[in-house]
Amino acid sequence: RKEVEQDPGPFNVPEGATVAFNCTYSNSASQSFFWYRQDCRKEPKLLMSVYSSGNEDGRFTAQLNRASQYISLLIRDSKLSDSATYLCVVNEWAAGNKLTFGGGTRVLVKP
Amino acid sequence: DVKVTQSSRYLVKRTGEKVFLECVQDMDHENMFWYRQDPGLGLRLIYFSYDVKMKEKGDIPEGYSVSREKKERFSLILESASTNQTSMYLCASSSRTALLEKLFFGSGTQLSVL
């Protein structure tokens, strides 16, 4: 089983709609969580950290469910520019700050 | 803005060749990393370095080596390239004083080994 798993998609989303997707992690010792965004043929860039209480950044909301070992990302009022691959990243502090990346979820926002 | 520069965007090499991938960052970051990215597998850590002349193996170090002679430069070496090393290679850096998780990536090198 992969340490960090994501539905590869693609999620085809009408412009203006809401889309949400999850990322599951296998190691319960994982201690911090992040979403990175990667545009086609570009490098990944940090989108947002995921806090225990959940957090929002504009149209983006991230949630953490430790009991079920998953994190989620919700995008409201989708824009064409939100089309990208979203990478889930899990950090295990006890393993020396080892970052483990998921395979990514592709989102396509269409007019 | 942090700039992480990788020497080549595309490389084509032959099986058995020695390949050097260079990465330079301009923000005096202590930490530097080499990842490879393959469809469906995510980014996998090859090697990393937390200081000059220091290196640590990541998850998939076999077939690779690294060099960090200067703080700003981290080189990835494929001693004898093989076809299964065809991949996108991404270099990243981060500051020790900041959250480790904020990685700044270079634009990547697409390596094809024929």
- Here the tokens at position A70 are 């998953």
| Residue A15 pLDDT > 90 | yes
Cα A45 to Cα B19, B55, B89, B103, distances in angstroms: 27, 24, 15, 8
What's the rounded Cα separation, in Å, for the pair B88 and B74?
Answer: 17
Query: CB within 8 A of B62, min separation 6: which ones?
Result: none
- Chain B residue numbers with beta carbons less than 8 Å from the beta carbon of A97 are 100
- Residues A46 and A36 sit within 8 Å (Cβ to Cβ): yes
**pLDDT tens per residue, range A56-65:** 999 999 999 9
The partner residues of B48 in beta bridges, in order of sequence, read: B33, B56
By the CB < 8 Å criterion, does A92 face chain B? no
From the CA atom positions of chain A, what is the Rg in Å? 13
CB contact under 8 A, A43 and B40: no
- Residues A70 and A90 sit within 8 Å (Cβ to Cβ): no
Return the amino acid letter for B84: N
Rounded to 10 degrees, the C-alpha dihedral B61/B66/B68/B69 comes to 150
Rounded to 10 degrees, the C-alpha dihedral B94/B95/B96/B100 comes to -40
Q: E-strand spans in B26-86?
A: 31-38, 42-49, 56-57, 64-70, 73-78
Percent composition of chain B: helix, strand, coil (DSSP 3-state, to 5): 5, 50, 45
| Residue A97 pLDDT > 70 | no
Share of chain A above pLDDT 90, in %: 75
Nearest Cα residue to A6 out of A90, A106, A104: A104
- Residues B105 and B92 sit within 8 Å (Cβ to Cβ): yes
| Residue A87 pLDDT > 80 | yes
- Chain A residue numbers with beta carbons less than 8 Å from the beta carbon of B99 are 49
By the CB < 8 Å criterion, does A27 face chain B? no
- Chain B residue numbers with beta carbons less than 8 Å from the beta carbon of A98 are 45
B→A contacts (Cβ < 8 Å), by residue, are 35, 40-45, 90, 99-103, 105-108
Residue of A nearest to B5 (CA): A43
- Chain A residue numbers with beta carbons less than 8 Å from the beta carbon of B103 are 44, 46, 99
Query: Which one-letter DSSP state was computed for residue A82?
Result: G
- Residues A97 and B100 sit within 8 Å (Cβ to Cβ): yes
Tens digit of each residue's pLDDT, chain B (114 residues): 669 999 899 999 999 999 999 999 998 998 899 999 998 788 999 999 988 989 999 999 999 999 999 999 999 999 999 999 999 999 999 887 655 568 899 999 999 999
